[in-house]
Amino acid sequence: MTDHTARLDHVVLWVRDPVAAADFYEKAVGMEPLRLTEFAAGQVPFPSVRVNDETILDLMPLNFAERMTMLPGAADSAGHPVNHVCLSLPRGDFDALLGRLEERAVPVSELSYDSFGARGKATRSFYFRDPDGNVFEARHYD
């Protein structure tokens, strides 16, 4: 049977250095890099990191912005207008992420409690930036 539920497939982030970004997402955030070797060899235009079995973040080189011609003004999207991307994690993974970010001296916001999201009110959440200034929220519901 085919599942016809809508899902988030990927988010494309503009990054200055895709290899450095992949390293951050792997080591600080705990995501698996994809196509990194192929990117380094010039075989693919960008690498990605896996959020879960169904969702990835594409790490698009900022210098590709001028190639975004699929819609008028698409090239102007580099650097905005996304406010933030939210990662929903199990409690243990949330705590591990917070620890890895603190170990790497990545600034994080104060913890918030009961903030609204896709699954209702989250138990805890916080915000951080990646090395390219993209803002992420991490939360858990359990």
pLDDT of 19-56, one tens digit each? Answer: 999 999 999 999 999 999 999 999 999 999 999 999 99
The torsion angle over the Cα atoms of residues 123, 120, 109 and 54, rounded to 10 degrees, is 100
125 within 8 A of 89, measured Cβ to Cβ: no
Q: Percentage of residues in the chain with pLDDT exceeding 70? A: 85
Q: How confident is the model over 69-119, as pLDDT tens digits?
A: 655 666 666 655 566 889 999 999 999 999 999 999 999 999 999 988 888
Residues 6+ apart with CB under 8 A from 140: 88, 89, 90, 91, 93, 94, 122, 123, 124, 125
What is the pTM for the complete model shown?
0.79
CB 107 within 8 A of CB 135: no
